[in-house]
Structure 1
Amino acid sequence: MTESEFLAAATKGDETAAREALIANPALASASTPDGMPVSLLALYHGRKALAERIGEARCETLSIFEAAALGRIRDVSVLLHLHRDRALEVSHDGFTALHLAAFFGHHYCAKLLLEEHADPNAVSENAMRLTPLHSAVADKPESVVAPLVALLLNAKANPNAMQADGFTPLKAAQQNGHAQVEKLLRAKGAV
């Protein structure tokens, strides 16, 4: 399987074939899109968590802070931050910090570690969406995953009234998703 075929399989193609290709050619784990998105993140963004985790395992020593945070690999995040604390402030090729990605993919402990290492809870993504980590946290996930992340970010002084590019707020997302507990947390910190 070629690198471009592997990228296609990682998103919407045959996931079994992608796993088999990865076994046959572990170098495919280092593939990235023409604009620089690693295949592990690409697979995650397309809901292919198991494949993304296998790719991460194949690249465990070379994961970026963004991949490690998105995959919830707290040990890797810890090592990477230990080597370079400023990684908590870096921005990925698609405009997100590691904290955005940990929050979006529901990894509370990675988000906590990043905040302890001075990640900015109010960082605005450097892309057209203009999201904060709080927006990423309230994205469509079960409330049992969202609530602890929201509490963590709010306790770190995340702005409960932050607006993304289209004016959408974390409170609107909580209401849209029917997350009453998250709505209560946001309102307690001044969300309107």
Structure 2
Amino acid sequence: MKKKITTEEFEVLENKIWLEFLEKATPIEIHKSLITSNFDGNSLLLNLIKNNPKTDKGTILVAYWMSSPSYFKEFLNREDLLEKSSFSIDGFDFVEEIEKKYCDGFYQGNEITFDPKSDSENYDWTSEYDEGVLVRKIPKIMFEKINGKIEIKEYPKDFDNGLPMKPIDYAQKVYDIFEEYEVE
């Protein structure tokens, strides 16, 4: 019979695994982690890249565009969003902070190529940008391709839910928690 743990206890165990990985992760590993992560449940990774000036510009642009910035441009400001749709305030804050920091030159890494108009799977993240619906514009710099030395040309198959499987299978360590415990 499995020992029962709360969701909060599970998150503590999971975060330990994430921190172990992130302490040693290279910029390319962080990039792969981001593009293979579940955005709804990975605030640890998202906050790490948002707050780190060494974050690669290509990686932070991925985070920005995957966060649906066009949606947040339908609101005049944070207060307008709170009046109309308070459920996504964390997303609004995340997008706005990245945008400000990016425009101010906060992010210094420049190793990874990323084009928001054609990513590794040829997806155009900017295609949903419709100025007719928006009350604020996305700055032009956020649309610009980053030309780094490294280009990821396909979805990373060596990562699972944001965690690498080799040389250490961090993803399996998370799955092992589910084998050992019943999460309530």
What is the TM-score when the length of structure 1 is the normalising length?
A: 0.38
Higher relative contact order (CA 8 A, sep 6+): 2
Structure having the larger proportion of residues in strand = 2
Structure having the larger proportion of residues in helix = 1
What is the TM-score when the length of structure 2 is the normalising length?
A: 0.39
Instruction: Give 1 or 2 for the bigger CA radius of gyration.
Output: 2
